[in-house]
Amino acid sequence: MRDELHNEIDTPAGKGSHSVTAKKTGEQRNRIIDGTDKDEIFYHYAKSESERAIIDRVMEKYPARITTFLKSLMEKSEFIRKQYLPSPKEIETIGTPTPFEEGKHSSKTHGLERLYRDRVLMTPHFDCPAYCRFCYKKSRVMRGKRGMTFEEIDQSVSEVGQMDSVRGVLVTGGDPMMNPEKLFYLLDRVMELNNIFEIRVGTRCLLTRPEIFTDEICDRLASYTRPCFTNPAKSKYLAINVHFNHPDELAPEVIEACHKLTSRGITLRNQTVLLKGINDNVDTAKTLFSLLLRNNMIPYYFNHCMPVEGADHLRTTVQKGLDIYKHLCTESSTIIPNYVYAPSGGKVHVGPDTVLNYEKQNGYNLIKIKMLYKAEEFSQIAKKPLPPMHEVTEDGYIQGMYIDGQDD
Ligand code: SF4
Per residue in 213-237, pLDDT (tens digit) is: 999 999 999 999 999 999 999 999 9
Looking at the DSSP bridge assignments, the partners of residue 297 are 268
Query: Coil, helix or strand for 336?
Result: coil
**pLDDT at residue number 333:** 84
Shortest-distance atom of ligand 1 to CA 203: 1
**pLDDT at residue number 408:** 84
Looking at the DSSP bridge assignments, the partners of residue 240 are 201, 268
Residue 362, by phi and psi: left (phi above 0), alpha (psi -120 to 50) or beta? left
- In sequence order, what are the residues at sequence separation of 6 or more whose Cβ sits closer than 8 angstroms to the Cβ of residue 72? none
Distance 355 CA to ligand 1 centre (A): 30
Q: Is 141 in the pocket of ligand 1 (CB under 6 A)?
A: yes
Q: Under a CB-based contact definition with an 8 Å cutoff, are residues 53 and 15 in contact?
A: no
Closest CA to 392 of 406, 376, 368, 408: 376
Sign of the CA dihedral with 282 first, then 283, 285, and 289 last: positive
pLDDT tens digits along 380-390 = 887 778 888 89
Looking at the DSSP bridge assignments, the partners of residue 238 are 199
Domain spans of the chain, in order of start: 9-91, 112-356
Distance 83 CA to ligand 1 centre (A): 11
Closest CA to 186 of 219, 149, 214, 134: 149
| Cβ burial 262-284 (10 Å sphere, 16+ → b, else e) | eeeebbbbbbbbbbbebbbeeeb
Give the residue, by CA position, lying nearest to ligand 1 atom 6: 132
Q: Is 137 in the pocket of ligand 1 (CB under 6 A)?
A: yes
Shortest-distance atom of ligand 1 to CA 202: 2
**pLDDT at residue number 318:** 98
User: What's the CATH class of domain 112-356?
Assistant: alpha beta
Closest CA to 307 of 86, 100, 91, 142: 100
CA dist 92 and 101 (Å) reads 23
**pLDDT at residue number 101:** 64
To test the pocket of ligand 1, the residue of 32, 67, 125, 131 to mutate (highest count of ligand atoms within 8 Å of its CB) is 131
Residue 29 gets which letter from DSSP?
P
Shortest-distance atom of ligand 1 to CA 134: 7
pLDDT tens digits along 8-63 = 433 233 334 444 444 443 346 899 999 989 899 999 999 999 999 999 999 999 99
To test the pocket of ligand 1, the residue of 204, 244, 278 to mutate (highest count of ligand atoms within 8 Å of its CB) is 204
DSSP string, 143-193: TT-----HHHHHHHHHHHHT-TT--EEEE-SS-GGGSHHHHHHHHHHHHT-
Give the residue, by CA position, lying nearest to ligand 1 atom 1: 204
CA distances from 255 to 274, 284, 300 (A): 21, 18, 18
**pLDDT at residue number 13:** 32
Residues of the chain with pLDDT under 50: 1-27
Distance 132 CA to ligand 1 centre (A): 6
Give the residue, by CA position, lying nearest to ligand 1 atom 8: 135
Closest CA to 371 of 389, 395, 345, 351: 345
Query: Coil, helix or strand for 55?
Result: helix
Q: Is 132 in the pocket of ligand 1 (CB under 6 A)?
A: yes
Q: Is 266 in the pocket of ligand 1 (CB under 6 A)?
A: no
Q: Is the pTM of this model over 0.85?
A: yes
- State the DSSP H helix or E strand holding residue 244, giving kind and residue range, or none if neither: none
